[in-house]
């Protein structure tokens, strides 16, 4: 009962402020103020205020909010773990596709510009291949 009275008084005060604003020839602002001031009155008339008052004093509703909080924590936790692993599922799939395409034919996708434009590289020794993996990991982390 008190909530309905407060909401109605807030709506009346807001409409009064809107009337004063309109008197000052600021019609756009007056319309916006009137729209905001009618929201509490509409909430009272639709019964939302009664529902909120009933929910605020209901232990079952508070238990429901607790369940929603636990759900949110689980979502946030899984998102944090996903970030620590190295990105989202879409990024991991894209990385797997690019690795697969490089494994199949890495030179086939490179454009052929002639023999002079391609630098001649000698194949590395066995130990150098071990360090290339480490270099790739360091580059991935920006080191």
**C-alpha–C-alpha distance, residues 26 and 96, integer Å:** 60
Q: pTM value?
A: 0.43
**C-alpha–C-alpha distance, residues 35 and 16, integer Å:** 12
DSSP code for 25: T
What confidence tens digit (pLDDT) does each residue in 62-114 have? Answer: 888 899 899 999 999 988 888 887 766 777 778 778 777 665 555 555 555 65
Angle, vertex CA 116, rays to CA 113 and CA 120, nearest 5:
105
């Amino acid at each position: 009962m008190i909530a309905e009275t407060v909401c109605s008084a807030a709506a009346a005060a807001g409409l009064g402020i809107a009337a004063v604003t309109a008197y000052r020839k600021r019609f756009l602002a007056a319309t916006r103020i009137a729209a905001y001031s009618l929201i509490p009155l509409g909430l009272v008339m639709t019964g939302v205020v009664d529902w909120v008052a009933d929910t605020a004093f209901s232990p079952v509703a508070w238990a429901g909010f607790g369940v929603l909080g636990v759900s949110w924590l689980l979502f946030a936790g899984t998102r944090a773990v996903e970030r620590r692993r190295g990105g989202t599922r879409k990024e991991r799939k894209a990385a797997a596709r690019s690795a697969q395409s490089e494994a199949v034919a890495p030179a086939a996708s490179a454009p052929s510009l002639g023999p002079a434009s391609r630098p001649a590289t000698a194949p590395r020794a066995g130990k150098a291949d071990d360090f290339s993996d480490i270099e790739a990991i360091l580059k991935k982390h920006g080191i």
